[in-house]
Amino acid sequence: MKKKVFDIIQIGDKSNKVSRAFDYFILANILLNISVMFFLTFEGLSGLFGVFKTIEYVTTIIFCIEYGLRIWTAPYLYRDKPYLRFLLSYDGIVDLLTIIPVFFLTGFVVFRMLRVVRILHLFRINAQYDSFNVITEVLKKKRNQIISSVFIIVVLLLASSLCMYSAEHEAQPGVFENAFSGIWWAVSTVLTVGYGDIYPVTILGRCMAILIAFLGVGVVAIPTGIISAGFVEQYTHSQSVLDNNHADLEEILEIQVDKRFAKRTVAELRKNEHLHIYMILREDMTVIPMEDTRLLNNDIIICKFF
């Protein structure tokens, strides 16, 4: 019985009609729940608030039942400490955060928008090595450069706030009261939002504002360029992996990683073991190997010795 329930609630199993029907049922439940959440903000529909609340609680109860079933069938998904691993997993945390606000944290309505993640998961958008995984891989690979550029932006914001305070405090003491009061102006200028509710009136302040605005355009473009370059590199690498598909299929091996290969990187295995890895199968996820990708125990690798 537990195995049948597990097969049904697994997302995106097209071979199982009952499972697929369950997926669409959950999808309809998600869309209905989110729609009701928005309808509850319209005062003109106040006469229907009782109906909306009823629908909200019914759909949330369905979420609770699904969450309970996923905990119950966790042993089929994880080998060691299945219940704890599910509760601490990405899916388990998202499921919990979509339920709690309805009963306890009513003010944290933003958590309820995490139900949208269920829609993405429903169609296994994040289960394979696709655009979402590419984004994650690029951010992880370029994290040092991104952190450095963000640090530069923060320094520019603080310096801009201090400069504008020095130039504008006497002319606008009520607007630029202290060094941190210019943070709002600095953010709207450096990040090119430009609300215009706070602006300099002195000649020195305006000259500095022009310079800061130009610097802001250049500085904000830095992380954008880093991420764009990362996407190009990732795409080029993915294409090179696909180009290897012409390799002789008789030489392609499927190996389960044991202690011999576990915790070693793809680069180490290619250099020391003369092993070229085309793909890594990790639980329900397919990973394209990078140079610094480290193999885990029980991974399945598609590879070839050269």
What's residue 240's pLDDT? 60
Which of 207, 238, 269 terminates a domain? The answer is 238
User: CB atoms < 10 A from the CB of 3, how many?
Assistant: 10
Any alpha helices (H) in the chain, and if so which ranges? Answer: 2-9, 17-39, 49-72, 82-87, 90-103, 109-112, 115-122, 131-141, 143-168, 183-190, 203-243, 266-272
What's residue 115's pLDDT? 63
Measured between alpha carbons, how far is 32 from 35 in angstroms, rounded to an integer? 5
What's residue 270's pLDDT? 85
290 domain residue, yes or no? yes
138 domain residue, yes or no? no
Q: Say whether both 233 and 271 belong to one domain.
A: no
What global pTM score does this model have? 0.49
* CATH number, position 228: 1.10.287.70
Q: Say whether both 231 and 253 belong to one domain.
A: no
177 domain residue, yes or no? yes
Average pLDDT of the segment spanning 203-226: 83
Measured between alpha carbons, how far is 156 from 171 in angstroms, rounded to an integer? 23
Quick: pLDDT tens for 5-29: 777 777 655 667 787 788 788 888 8
If you average pLDDT over every residue of the chain, what do you get? 78
SS3 27: helix
What's residue 118's pLDDT? 60
User: CB atoms < 10 A from the CB of 64, how many?
Assistant: 15
Average pLDDT of the segment spanning 89-95: 77
Q: Say whether both 198 and 275 belong to one domain.
A: no
Measured between alpha carbons, how far is 9 from 19 in angstroms, rounded to an integer? 6
Average pLDDT of the segment spanning 67-90: 83
Q: Which of 19-23, 205-209, 221-225 has the highest mean pLDDT?
A: 205-209
* CATH number, position 87: 1.20.120
Q: Say whether both 117 and 171 belong to one domain.
A: no
- Evaluate if residue 92 carries a pLDDT over 70: yes
Q: Say whether both 84 and 112 belong to one domain.
A: yes
For residues 287 and 293, the answer to whether their CB atoms sit within 8 Å is: yes
137 domain residue, yes or no? no
Per the structure, the complete domain to which residue 290 belongs is given by: 247-305
300 domain residue, yes or no? yes
Measured between alpha carbons, how far is 58 from 60 in angstroms, rounded to an integer? 5
* CATH number, position 278: 3.30.70.1450
23 domain residue, yes or no? yes
Q: Say whether both 163 and 231 belong to one domain.
A: yes
Phi-psi region of 194 (alpha: psi -120 to 50; beta: other; left: phi over 0): left
Measured between alpha carbons, how far is 123 from 141 in angstroms, rounded to an integer? 26
- Evaluate if residue 59 carries a pLDDT over 80: yes
Quick: pLDDT tens for 242-293: 555 554 555 677 888 888 888 888 888 888 888 888 888 887 778 888 888 8
* Range scoring the smallest mean pLDDT among 10-14, 79-83, 234-238: 10-14
Q: Is the dihedral of CA 232, 285, 86, 16 positive or negative?
A: positive
In this prediction, what percent of the chain has a pLDDT beyond 90?
0
Q: Considering its fold, how many domains does the chain have in total?
A: 3
Q: Say whether both 110 and 183 belong to one domain.
A: no
Q: Say whether both 278 and 221 belong to one domain.
A: no
User: Which residue, among 228, 222, 230, 229, has the nearest Cα to 151 in the 3D structure?
Assistant: 222
176 domain residue, yes or no? yes
What's residue 208's pLDDT? 87
SS3 201: coil
Quick: pLDDT tens for 121-177: 555 444 444 566 677 777 888 888 888 888 888 888 888 888 888 888 888 888 888
132 domain residue, yes or no? no
